[in-house]
Amino acid sequence: MIELYRVCKEYDNGQVALKDVSLHIPMGQMVFLIGESGAGKSTLLKILYKAEQFSSGRVLIGRVDISRLADYSQLRRRIGLIFQDYRLLNHLNVFDNVAYILRAQGASEKEIRYRVEGALNVVGLLDRSKEMPQHLSGGERQRVGIARAIVINPPVLLADEPTGNLDPVNSLKIFQLFKEINEKLKMTMLIATHDPRVHQLKKRIIQLSVADRQIVMDTEPSNLPMFGSLLL
Amino acid sequence: MMRFLRMLVRIFAEAGLGMWRSGWQNIVIISILMSTLVVFGIMLEFSVSLKKIAANLLGSQTEFSIHLTDGTDPDSMKRKLNKFKEVVNMKLTTKEEAWEQTKSMLQIDLDDSLNSMPNTLTVRVSKPQEAAPLIYKVNGWKKEVEHISYAPTMVRKLNVVKNLLILLGTFISGLLAAATFVINFNTIELVIRSRKEELNLLRFMGVTNWFIKGPFILQGILYGLVSALVAGSLLITIDVFARYNWQKIMMQQFGLVDLFWPSGEELTQVLIILTIIGILFSSSSSFWATERRLSA
């Protein structure tokens, strides 16, 4: 569960990134966060994983007020992160990239093998576990990124423009993969994107406005406007 | 416990990987740190030797040597000295005996016509406080006495030499140490900067701070350890090859043999000190770099 109460983010130079943003995402829900560039999508995600501090308001993840946390690593171990530029470790192969966080947590090799193979199986890359990231296509790299995020079985998954570097076909496959993961693993997901085709997935969509830096639309699947389908 | 041990092993592995990724910079750091430790080690060895010499000479405060002028009859000098009740013993080393000793020590065959050694009388008094007044009196016999060697005078000279060596060694070590600190600090900082994105990613993945910092500090410890091992090997090599020549110098200058070369035990102590200093030094610069770049 993710909750934001009147969250504001203002930079030192006075620029406002978010203004009075409030939202509630129940456990296990998949939500797309859309909006133009500069609307504050990434800022909102960064606030959730504590890469940025908010100026005022309150943020709760799983009923924990994150502004009161002294050790961010505990919070971050409960969040899976997916980035637009994949951010894979190029000196490690696919398996080791996914296994890295488990090794850092002191998991046994048996446990690592079981969990990494499970995660790679979910994203369909089990047969490519020995490949180096630079030998993979963009779509495959993002799948590795997703496997790395889900391998710790986090209750929350945040993705910042996960298809920003992908072609339309691969983008759709990645969105489909997110949907499958959400249905199988019941993770709460917040995915920032500016891809209008997310309407096709019939999931909740929250739109941030670049003009107001506020939520201007919050639509449940049943209330999705028709234009989303028309765009496909 | 097992989880902790596994993490420790993985931190070691990360440190090894970090060193591998640092490439040629490892060689620069290790070379400079090793040079620092070698200079420091030589300084320590000298200090140990000079301390032992001084201690030995101070133990001979009741004894002094009178080098006689050419033409002085040693027997008449003995008779003259025997009149002083504080003299308990006298030993004559003739110029021929001194010449033979020198040739034997240097292992060279010199012509006897080159012998410029004086006849020497080694005088022992019953109490240390009796030595100085007697030396003062004997020193007045300008015709018979060329020079008097007395331990406290030599100790003072040795202390001056020792202090100069320590000062010089400290200065050189200080310069090298500062260079090592800066280079090690900069290398670790450069590695951290070049891997900033990666390290941020690890943070965002919830990797604990000490798992991120640990490998860099360990890398510093490994630099110190490797440098100390190389420096130690070099010192042992110097020790083995230079011992013979060193002994000759000691014999020539102070008439002392074997006793004053650092023993195996003392050399081990020097090596342990070097290892500790090397590790402390490089790990502290790494720690500082990580604190500066990775604290958030």
Is B197 within 8 Å of A106 when comparing Cβ atoms? no
Rounded to a whole number, what is the distance in angstroms from the first to the last CA of chain B? 28
Is A106 within 8 Å of B205 when comparing Cβ atoms? no
Give the whole-angstrom CA distance, residue B12 versus residue B98: 62
The burial class, CB within 10 Å (0-12 / 13-18 / 19+), for B166 is middle
B53's tokens: 């010499």
Is B205 within 8 Å of A101 when comparing Cβ atoms? yes
- Identify the pLDDT of residue B57: 62
* DSSP string for residues in A81-136: EEETT----TTS-HHHHHHHHHHHTT--HHHHHHHHHHHHHHHT-GGGTTS-GGGS
pLDDT tens-digit series, residues A150-176: 999 999 999 999 998 888 888 888 999
Find residues 32-51 of chain A whose CB sits inside 8 Å of chain B: 49, 51
Which stretches in chain B have pLDDT values below 50? Answer: none
Is B202 within 8 Å of A104 when comparing Cβ atoms? yes
Nearest to B41 by CA among B229, B270, B248: B270
pLDDT band at A227; cut points 50, 70, 90: very low
Chain B partners of A89 at a C-beta cutoff of 8 Å?
Answer: 198, 201
Is B202 within 8 Å of A152 when comparing Cβ atoms? no
Q: A34 CA to chain B: closest CA distance, Å? A: 23
- Identify the pLDDT of residue A83: 92
Is A104 within 8 Å of B7 when comparing Cβ atoms? yes
Q: B42 CA to chain A: closest CA distance, Å? A: 42
Of A44-48, A192-196, B187-191, least confident by mean pLDDT is B187-191
Is B209 within 8 Å of A73 when comparing Cβ atoms? yes
What is the number of other CB atoms lying within 10 angstroms of the CB of residue A230? 9
Report the pLDDT averaged over residues A77-102: 91
Comparing alpha-carbon positions, the chain B residue that sits nearest to A98 is B205
The residue to which tokens 């924990």 are assigned: A64
Q: B290 CA to chain A: closest CA distance, Å? A: 18
Question: With contact defined as beta carbons under 8 Å apart, do A231 and A197 qualify?
Answer: yes
Which residues contact residue A176 at a Cβ distance below 8 angstroms, ignoring those fewer than 6 apart?
A201
Give the whole-angstrom CA distance, residue A171 versus residue A163: 5
Is B205 within 8 Å of A81 when comparing Cβ atoms? yes
- Is the per-residue pLDDT at A226 higher than 50? no
Q: A81 CA to chain B: closest CA distance, Å? A: 7
Give the best residue of A52, A76, A111 to mutate against chain B (max B CB count within 10 A). A76
Question: With contact defined as beta carbons under 8 Å apart, do A31 and A191 qualify?
Answer: yes
Give the whole-angstrom CA distance, residue A165 versus residue A150: 20
Chain A partners of B197 at a C-beta cutoff of 8 Å?
Answer: 87
Give the best residue of A69, A73, A112 to mutate against chain B (max B CB count within 10 A). A73
Is A216 near chain B, with CB under 8 Å? no
Question: With contact defined as beta carbons under 8 Å apart, do A86 and B198 qualify?
Answer: no
Chain A partners of B4 at a C-beta cutoff of 8 Å?
Answer: 106
3-state secondary structure chain B: CHHHHHHHHHHHHHHHHHHHHHCCHHHHHHHHHHHHHHHHHHHHHHHHHHHHHHHHHHCCCCEEEEEECCCCCHHHHHHHHHCCCCEEEEEEECHHHHHHHHHHHHCCCCCHHHCCCCCEEEEEECCHHHHHHHHHHHHCCCCCEEEEEEHHHHHHHHHHHHHHHHHHHHHHHHHHHHHHHHHHHHHHHHHHHHCHHHHHHHHHCCCCHHHHHHHHHHHHHHHHHHHHHHHHHHHHHHHHHHHHHHHHHHHHHHCCCHHHCCCHHHHHHHHHHHHHHHHHHHHHHHHHHHHHHHCC
Is A106 within 8 Å of B4 when comparing Cβ atoms? yes
Amino acid at B133: P
Is A75 near chain B, with CB under 8 Å? yes
- Identify the pLDDT of residue A228: 42
Give the best residue of B202, B204, B209, B294 to mutate against chain A (max A CB count within 10 A). B204
Q: How much is the mean pLDDT over chain A?
A: 88
Give the whole-angstrom CA distance, residue B46 versus residue B262: 9
Q: B209 CA to chain A: closest CA distance, Å? A: 8
Give the best residue of B6, B199, B205 to mutate against chain A (max A CB count within 10 A). B205
Question: With contact defined as beta carbons under 8 Å apart, do B219 and B188 qualify?
Answer: yes
Is B206 within 8 Å of A74 when comparing Cβ atoms? yes
Amino acid at A79: I
Q: A79 CA to chain B: closest CA distance, Å? A: 8
Is A106 near chain B, with CB under 8 Å? yes
Give the whole-angstrom CA distance, residue A140 versus residue B175: 53
Question: With contact defined as beta carbons under 8 Å apart, do B203 and B212 qualify?
Answer: yes
Which residues contact residue B174 at a Cβ distance below 8 angstroms, ignoring those fewer than 6 apart?
none
Give the whole-angstrom CA distance, residue A219 versus residue A231: 17
Comparing alpha-carbon positions, the chain B residue that sits nearest to A148 is B205
Q: Out of B4, B6, B207, whose CB is closest to A101?
A: B207
Is A106 within 8 Å of B10 when comparing Cβ atoms? yes
| Assessment of whether the complete model's pTM goes beyond 0.80 | no
Q: B202 CA to chain A: closest CA distance, Å? A: 8
Which residues contact residue B113 at a Cβ distance below 8 angstroms, ignoring those fewer than 6 apart?
none
Q: A89 CA to chain B: closest CA distance, Å? A: 7
Q: With a cut of 0.85, is the ipTM above it? A: no
Q: What share of chain A is helix, strand, coil (3-state, %, to 5)?
A: 40, 25, 35
Q: Out of B2, B198, B206, whose CB is closest to A101?
A: B206
Give the whole-angstrom CA distance, residue B95 versus residue B79: 19
